[in-house]
Amino acid sequence: MCVKRRLTLMRSSLPFSAMSNTTDADGNRQFVPGTSRNQGNRTLSLDAVNAYRATLGLTPITSAQLDSSRYNSFDIKLTRPIFTRGDNQKLELTLQVFNLFGTENLASASGQVSTGGNLTNATSATFGRILGASNLQQAELAIRFVF
């Protein structure tokens, strides 16, 4: 008997904020004028970001330059007993494959998918880009003794 398990993980893009170079009295960076928290990948006004960039003599950003941190992975696990001894002892062979179809899932440079990873400094040439990605595919082969 072979046991099969499938798991599909999906998540929409994580929001990010457009930050300016201006800091408040506490040293915290401020949002780009005309924007607020977590509008990136949601309702971010590129007109407001580009107006701010224009005051600094920077080129405009297009929506095509913004990366999506959406996540999509199809994982599968196959388990098969390869040796049985008595009623309560067996040896199982397990194969697991993560992200079977090799979907590119962009992530922060540290590889933490849950952080989104979009660069938020509106003055950066890489604003809205994600410079890292999680593994395309991984596999694991294991033998387990059950008693």
Q: How is the chain split into domains, by residue range?
A: 3-146
pLDDT at residue number 110: 46
How many angstroms separate the CA atoms of 72 and 10, rounded? Answer: 4
pLDDT at residue number 117: 61
User: Measured on CA atoms in the order 42, 72, 134, 62, is the torsion positive or negative?
Assistant: negative
Q: What is the pLDDT along the chain (147 residues), one digit of tens a residue?
A: 677 888 888 988 888 889 998 888 888 889 999 999 989 888 999 999 999 999 999 999 999 999 888 889 999 999 999 988 888 899 999 999 999 999 998 876 444 454 556 678 899 888 888 888 888 899 999 999 988
Name the burial class of residue 108, with classes exposed (0-12), middle (13-18) and buried (19+) by CB atoms within 10 angstroms of its CB.
buried
Structure tokens at 116: 């989104």
pLDDT at residue number 132: 82
pLDDT at residue number 111: 44
3-state secondary structure labels for all residues of the chain: CCEEEEEEEEECCCCECCEEEEECCCCCEEECCCCCCCCECCCCCHHHHHHHHHHCCCCCCCHHHCCCCCEEEEEEEEEEEEEEECCCEEEEEEEEEECCCCCCCEECCCCCHHHCCCCCECCCCCCCCCCEECCCCEEEEEEEEEC
- What does pTM read for this prediction? 0.70
